[in-house]
Amino acid sequence: MSIKIIQISVPVDSNINISDFSPEENLLIIKIGISCLLEGRKSVLNLTQKEIQQKIQNDFKDEIQKLEMNILCEKETSKKIEERMEKMYDTQILQMKKQIDLLSTQLKEYEMSNKEIINKELNKAKEKYELLLQEKDKQNQLNREVFDKAIQLTNKNVTKSSCALGDDGENIFEYLSDTFKDFNGYKIENKSKQGHKGDFHLFFEEFNVLVDSKNYSGTVQKKEVNKIETDLMINDNMKFAWMVSLNTNISEYNRFPISCKWITTDVGVKCILFINNLLANKEPSNVLRQAWYICNEFNKMTKKIYSEDVDLSKYRERELKQKKQIENLQERASELRRSINTSHNILKQMDNDLIEMLMINSDKIINNNFELNNKIKEWCENNIKYTENDGSKLTSTEIWMKFKKENKEYVQENKITIDLFKDELTSLIDNSKFTEKTKKSAIEFIGFEFKQNENVVIEKKELQKKNKNQNPITITTEVLNKFYLSEYQDNKIIDEYENESNNIMTISSQNNIRPWQVVSLLIRHKKIFKREEARGYDIYKETEEYKQKIIKK
């Protein structure tokens, strides 16, 4: 089909998308439009002006009615919607109010029940702590009365008779020995009125101790040492003896606060502990407990020796029987005597070797015991404080874990167990300040808490070369402990050293620490700059402790 192009004029602002239709559709659109236009012109010509106006008004009325109807419908629908929304919100509000009322009633019930429970628990706790306080008050009153008596006894005139001084010393020791009341099988007997029995007999589960207390104003002489040695030999049921000098040192046995001497008797080897200047210690009862721990270690060490002594006694009995059987044989009597003399000499030599071995081991045990005791004591003073608040509590397990973490190498080297740590810890702290339900359970220390060491922060500036990325200057910090032992102990030792009558040996003895620790403390606080400058260092050089350190180095 052939196509022809028709040019039609239209207004400029008209927008006709005629290009979207095909030529046939364009032709149809033109024809229909022309016919409609012609029909419209005819109908318009036939209508009058009034009719046209009436028609337009009718059309407008119809349109207005339609619009009014639409508006009414919309109003009704909006009203219905509003009513529905109001009902829905009202129901939700009612439900929320009911929930709020229910929750408020439940909350009141919970508050009332909680108040009742809290009041009951508070009353129980009050009753419990009131009973504890009453018991503690009674204990404190009794301790105060006994302690006042002990102070009165120690403060009496020095010109008392030796008998009166002895009675005072016995009373003081008997008061201090109350620290053993929680030990298994403990019992004390006063033997001061009986000859060659000492002042007291202490009975424990594993061993017994003969005690001789000395309340002298001067050094305890050697004759007293010989006397307690004789008393220990006579009393077969006593394995250990303690010579306790309350205010002075003991002649020849004052190198350490606690020294020892081994002797041989018919029933086996026995040991004497010499305790110097007991009342000069801050807590004398702890020194006595430490003496007990040393004896306990010695007892464990000598148990093996007793089995050998039993075999030896059997051997002696057999030798005596053989001697009686061959007494009539004169030809072999001389040979038998020589063999007995030889075995006797060998026995003496064995006894001497045994005593020498025991002395070496006992010195080692004492040194280790003191070192461990001082280590734990020093650590406790730096890390634990007593608050006098029963609400503050620490368990032995918490203290052990912190000590083990901070002293890991020391614990491994010395093979320290939690049981040994608990024993040392309880020897440092008064019995009334901790509770122990069973032997293997954790001990609860009342009124103690960990403290933060007073530290000094020192900044060290380290300059780094600037690289390609222009890195900034780095600053590292280092924390140093301000005090060597503790603030109180450091100041106390410095004050004692400023008194020229004291030297490092006397200060170490008074404060129950090593001489080298006193020297290190003085250097820390810049009181001296070299160890050789310390007053009494030449005396320290002559001691076995210093010589052993040189040998180890």
- Rounded to whole angstroms, how far apart are CA atoms 245 and 239? 20
The amino acid sitting at 387 is T
What is the three-state SS of 157-201? CCCCCHHHHHHHHHHHHHHHHHHHCCCCCCEEEECCCCCCCCCEE
- For 551, the 3-state DSSP assignment is helix
Amino acid sitting at position 19: S
Distance in angstroms (rounded) separating the CA atoms of residues 517 and 515: 5
- Cβ distance 208 to 239 under 8 Å? yes
Pairing of strands 208-214, 434-435: unpaired
Report pLDDT for 461: 39
Dist. CA 526–CA 530, nearest whole Å: 10
Q: Which amino acid, residue 440? A: K
Amino acid letter at 110? Y
Contact partners, residue 417, CB within 8 Å, separation at least 6 = none
Question: Which residue type sits at 291?
Answer: A
pLDDT value at residue 504: 92
Phi/psi of residue 42, nearest 5 degrees = -65, -45
DSSP, collapsed to helix, strand or coil, labels residue 209 as strand
Nearest to 506 by CA among 484, 542, 539: 539
Any residues with CB less than 8 A from the CB of 444 and at least 6 apart, and which? Answer: 393, 394, 395, 396, 434, 435, 436
**Residues constituting the chain:** 553
CA angle 18, 20, 22 (to 5 degrees): 90
Rounded to whole angstroms, how far apart are CA atoms 30 and 128? 113
Angle (nearest 5°) at CA 175 between 171 and 178: 145
What's the confidence (pLDDT) of residue 164? Answer: 54
Which tokens is 402 given? 């912190």
**CB count, 10 Å around CB of 523?**
16
The pLDDT value given to residue 129: 80
Matching CATH number, 377-450, of 2.60.40, 1.10.10, 1.10.3470, 1.10.287 = 1.10.10
Task: List, in sequence order, every residue forming a beta bridge with 259; answer none if it has no partner.
Answer: 274
Condensed to tens digits (0 to 9), the pLDDT of residues 204-236 reads 998 999 999 998 888 999 899 999 999 999 998
The CA distance from 462 to 191, in Å, is 72
Q: Which two tokens stand for residue 57?
A: 């008004």
Predicted confidence at residue 266, as pLDDT, reads 84
Low-confidence ranges of the chain (pLDDT < 70): 1, 44-49, 143, 146-147, 150, 153-167, 304-316, 322-334, 336, 437-440, 452-483, 549-553
pLDDT of residue 458: 38
Structure-token pair, residue 28? 């149809």
CA atoms within 13 A on the CB side of 295: 27
- Give the single-character DSSP code of 299: H
- The set of residues, in sequence order, having a beta carbon less than 8 Å from that of 29 and lying 6+ positions away, is 18, 21
Cα–Cα distance measured from residue 312 to residue 344, given in angstroms and rounded to the nearest whole number:
12
For tokens 């001489």, name the residue.
515
DSSP string, 129-158: HHHHHHHHHHHHHHHHHHHHHHHHHHTS-T
Q: CA torsion 459→465→467→469, rounded to 10°?
A: 30
Q: How far is CA 147 from the centre of its chain?
A: 31
